[in-house]
Each structure stands twice: as structure tokens, then as C-alpha cells.
Amino acid sequence: MSIGIGIIGAGVMGADHARTVASAVGGAHLAALSDADADRAARVAAETGARRCHADSMALIADPAVDAVLIASPDATHAAFVLACLNAGKPVLCEKPLAATLAEAEVIIAAEKALGRRLVQVGFMRRFDPAYAGMKARLDAGEIGPAVMLHAVHRNAAVPPWFTSEMVITNSAVHDIDVARFLLGQEIVAATVFAPPVPAGALRDRQFLVMETAGGQLATVELFVNAAYGYDVRAELVGERGTLTRAPRDAVALRQSGRESGAFALDWRGHFAAAYQRQLQAWVQSIRSAVPVGPSAWDGYAATAIATACVGGLARGERVAVDIGTRPALYD
Ligand SMILES: NC(=O)c1ccc[n+]([C@@H]2O[C@H](COP(=O)([O-])OP(=O)(O)OC[C@H]3O[C@@H](n4cnc5c(N)ncnc54)[C@H](O)[C@@H]3O)[C@@H](O)[C@H]2O)c1
């Protein structure tokens, strides 16, 4: 049986996911699309062959032709749609962040616990990226000994004018927070955000985030979201006996006329194309096998809890303790 996928939000990410489902994911088809902008939904449906469009995203969730839902609408809309999917008993892949507030993330955890089975996967697609997954596999194989530190860089070419200083953490760094938990394998217990002063109302777009884990490991993240020259995301995992690095660009370098050059993507869609495809294929496979994979609602909740603590630390200019609580058995 082919899984009918319904996508909520036909903007940058929703359209990208729709193209991937339509062209590069086996065992599934694009059953429906919805967007607050009906014309946009219709354009993306025409391009990708989505079978129908809904003006109301709740109607998409209720549509019997939709077996599973992918949420790619703005952050503030995520929690209500995830909860509606849980109520309908439908698997849901929610773009990061799981929720815009910690309180909303807590409600989602309570709802999934009450349901007693995992239906939520969160779009921390870096876990499916061949390089990050490879670093994790080689760490687990003991190649560099126990992990002690992680250094990450997260630079965007540009962000829209409505992007806030808090969103640098909740919308951008949330990926690096998840990578730190994934690669270091221990829970974050404290965080400090360093950001130089800026004029009132200006974006604090140069930040250093330092996280500490329960086992005394350190993770640093440089955030620079108007870096102008391109999308540049890297990580170096330091172990007791070596390091593993996620390089920022193509492995293929051109040497010509006395120069060496290589391409790197201008935004996340090119940089992480393989990760998005692998994430979607794994999600479809998990629905078919009824065995959840990838980042859970708990991982989404944890990242939101850590990001929320960081936002408080940024505002107060202090190191903050983080306590995300005990992971429920459902997520073991
Ligand atoms: N995983 C990643 O690497 C990654 C990258 C970029 C964005 N994102 C996430 O994806 C989500 C979408 O981001 P984007 O860049 O595509 O934004 P976007 O603004 O390009 O698209 C959002 C779309 O949602 C529509 N929309 C707004 N309210 C809606 C509603 N109530 N119901 C249905 N549609 C609605 C808008 O009309 C728009 O078309 C965000 O949550 C963002 O954090 C994830």
C-alpha cells in the first residue's frame, strides 16, 4: 500500500518536501496539500502532482486519503496541527521546532503519552545526513574514543527582516542543540549565550552558544545568520583519541589555473538535500513497519526546553541551568 502524505504549508520547505515526496521517496504519494495562501498551494500541487488541495489544514488532517501528515507551516502553528494529528491517530512529521513554546511542547508530550504510542517525528533532518550519521556511527564504533567536545558553526547567508534575536536560538540553533544531544549522547545541563551588545531593536545575529552536558562534555555553536557569503554549517566532534569533521562543502575540489575551488550551497535545501530525502524515506518506512525512527517528540521537547533556557540566559546575560526532566518510558 502506498502511504498518502498530506503536507501543511507550501512555502520554501513544504514545496521542497512535496518535490522530494513526488520524485524521490518510494512507497508513498502526495495525497494533498494545504496552505493559508490557496494560490501557493495550487501552484505547488500543479508542479508536484498533489492529488488535492485544502484551504483548511484541519480538513487535510481529517481527509481519509491522507494517511500521514507533514507539517511545514510557520513555527507558531506547529503544536495545534501536531495535536490534531494525534487526535486523528495519524503519523506526523513536524518541521522543527516541535512547538513555538515550551508549554505547547509539554502538552504534545502529555498527549502522546496518553495515546501510548509514538506518532510524532520531528524534522531534525541532520540525524539523517550522511555526514552527521557517519560521524555518529564512527564514534559509536570507538574510532575516536569517548566524545569530549563538539564545535559547530551555523551561518546563514541572510534571514528575513522579521527574524528576531530569540529566533537565532529557537529557529536556527535548535538544529545544533539537537546535534549536540545526538552526537554527544548525553543530556545538556547548562548553557551560556554570548552576544555582543547591539543598538536597541537590532538583531543580535552574532552569538556563541556554549552547552555543558551531564558528563562534563562541552559543545560550542557559532551563530551568524546574516553571513552574506552563503550557507555554511559545520561540526567537529572531538574525542579522546581523534576528531571527526562534517566538512562545509562538496568533497570534490577543483584545482585549475593555480587555484583550488569547490562549491557549497547557498541555503539549507542544497546543503542538506540528501538528509531531507533520507529523512522522508525513513519516515515512510517507519509508518509502513509501525516502528518509529529518528528524532521523537521527546527530542523536540528537549531541544525546545534547552532553547528556551538559552533565550532566558541571553536576556539576562548569565549561564543558565537546564533541567528537561526524566524521559518517559515511551521514548526509551
Ligand atoms: N529543517 C530545516 O532545515 C528547515 C529549514 C527551513 C525552515 N524550516 C521550518 O519549516 C517551517 C516552514 O518554514 P519555511 O521556510 O518553509 O516558511 P515559508 O514562510 O516559506 O512557508 C510557510 C508556509 O506556510 C503557510 N501558512 C501560514 N500559516 C498557515 C496555516 N495556518 N496553515 C497552513 N499554511 C500556513 C504560508 O502561507 C507559507 O506558504 C518552519 O517551521 C521552519 O522553522 C525547517
- Looking at residue 86, its pLDDT comes to 98
Q: Looking at the structure, tell me whether residues 109 and 246 fall in a common domain.
A: no
Q: pLDDT per residue over 134-143, tens digit each?
A: 999 999 999 9
Q: Give the residue from 275, 237, 216, 279 showing the smallest Cα distance to 138.
A: 237
| Average pLDDT of the segment spanning 224-229 | 96
Q: Looking at the structure, tell me whether residues 111 and 132 fall in a common domain.
A: no
pTM of structure = 0.96
Give the distance (Å) from ligand 1 centre to CA of residue 201. 24
Q: Looking at the structure, tell me whether residues 141 and 97 fall in a common domain.
A: no
Banded model confidence at residue 200, pLDDT cuts 50, 70, 90: very high
* Domain harbouring 94, CATH code: 3.40.50.720
Give the distance (Å) from ligand 1 centre to CA of residue 332. 30
Q: Looking at the structure, tell me whether residues 120 and 133 fall in a common domain.
A: no
Domain boundary among 107, 124, 141: 124
- Asked if residue 289 is part of any domain, the answer here is no
- Asked if residue 191 is part of any domain, the answer here is yes
Q: Looking at the structure, tell me whether residues 116 and 157 fall in a common domain.
A: no
Domain boundary among 124, 154, 186: 124
Choose one of 7, 8, 13 to mutate for the ligand 1 pocket test, by most ligand atoms within 8 angstroms of C-beta: 13
Domain boundary among 68, 95, 124: 124
Q: Looking at the structure, tell me whether residues 86 and 109 fall in a common domain.
A: yes
Atom of ligand 1 nearest to the CA of 13: 16
Which residues lie with the beta carbon below 6 Å from any ligand 1 atom?
8-14, 34-37, 40, 57, 72-75, 77, 95-96, 123, 125, 171, 268
- Asked if residue 27 is part of any domain, the answer here is yes
Q: Looking at the structure, tell me whether residues 63 and 191 fall in a common domain.
A: no
Contact 150, 304 (CB under 8 A): no
- Looking at residue 260, its pLDDT comes to 87
Burial of 36 (0-12, 13-18, 19+ CB in 10 A): middle
- Asked if residue 291 is part of any domain, the answer here is no
- Asked if residue 286 is part of any domain, the answer here is no
Q: Looking at the structure, tell me whether residues 134 and 119 fall in a common domain.
A: no
Task: Supply the range of the domain harboring residue 147.
Answer: 127-274+301-331
Give the distance (Å) from ligand 1 centre to CA of residue 135. 29
Q: Looking at the structure, tell me whether residues 133 and 113 fall in a common domain.
A: no
Q: What is the mean pLDDT of the chain?
A: 96
* Domain harbouring 162, CATH code: 3.30.360.10
| Average pLDDT of the segment spanning 230-234 | 92
Q: Looking at the structure, tell me whether residues 84 and 134 fall in a common domain.
A: no
